[in-house]
Structure 1
Amino acid sequence: MSKPFDMELFVAGVLTGSYATRQRHVRQAKFIQAEIAERWQRATPWTWQRKHVAWFLEHRISQRSEATRYYYVLTARLLARRLKTSWVFNL
C-alpha cells in the first residue's frame, strides 16, 4: 500500500514568509493537486506538465476574483520553482 502524496512536505523547501502565507500556499497547492488528479489522474507534481497547471489557472479558477487568481498564480510559481522547471504563468 502506498502513502498519499504529502504536498506540505513537497513545497516546504520553497516556502517563505509568514505562517499565514505558508499555510495559504499549502492549502492552494493541495487544491491544485486535487483538481489535476481528478481531471488527469496525475497524483503527484512530478508527473505534471505545464499544460495541467495552465488548465487549472485558466479554466478551473477563471470565475474567481482577480485577487484570488493572483494568489493561485503565486502558488503555481512556487510549485514550478520546486520542480525546477522554467514554467511561466501570467495573470
Structure 2
Amino acid sequence: MSKPFDMELFLAAVLTGSRATRQRHIRQAKLTQAEITERWQLKTPWAWQRKHVTWFLEHRLAGRCAATRFYYLLTERLLARRLEKP
C-alpha cells in the first residue's frame, strides 16, 4: 500500500505569503487534486496535463464568482511553477 500524495509538502517549495494565503493555496490544490483524481484517476500532479487543469478551471468552477476563479488560477500557477511547466 502506498502513501497518499502530500500536497502540502509538494507546494512547500513555492509557497510564500501569510499563513492564511498558504493554507488557502493548499486547500484549493487538494480540491483540484481530488476532482482530477475522481475524473481521470491521476493521483499526483506529475501525471496531470494542461487539459486536466483546464477542465477543472472551466467546468468545475463554472458557477463560481470571478474572484474565486481568480484565486484558483493563482493556485494553478503555483502548481505549474512547482512542476516547471508553462
Matching residue of 1:39: 39
Separation in 2, partners of 1:53, 1:68 = 15
Separation in 2, partners of 1:43, 1:61 = 20
Name structure 1 gaps, 5 residues minimum.
Answer: 87-91
Structure 1 residue 21: Cα displacement: 0.2
Separation in 2, partners of 1:22, 1:62 = 24
Counterpart of 1:14, as a letter, is V
CA shift digits 1:14-42 (9 cap, x unpaired) = 00000000000000000000000000000
Give the TM-score of the pair, scaled to structure 2: 0.99
Counterpart of 1:52, as a letter, is H
Matching residue of 2:29: 29
Separation in 2, partners of 1:20, 1:65 = 20
Name structure 2 gaps, 5 residues minimum.
Answer: none
Separation in 1, partners of 2:67, 2:17 = 18
Question: Once superposed, which parts of structure 1, at least 4 consecutive aligned residues long, lie more than 3 Å away?
Answer: none
Separation in 2, partners of 1:69, 1:48 = 19
Identity of matched residues, %? 74
Separation in 1, partners of 2:56, 2:83 = 17
Higher relative contact order (CA 8 A, sep 6+): 2
Say what the alpha-carbon RMSD is for the aligned residues: 0.4
Give the TM-score of the pair, scaled to structure 1: 0.93
Aligned residue pairs: how many? 86
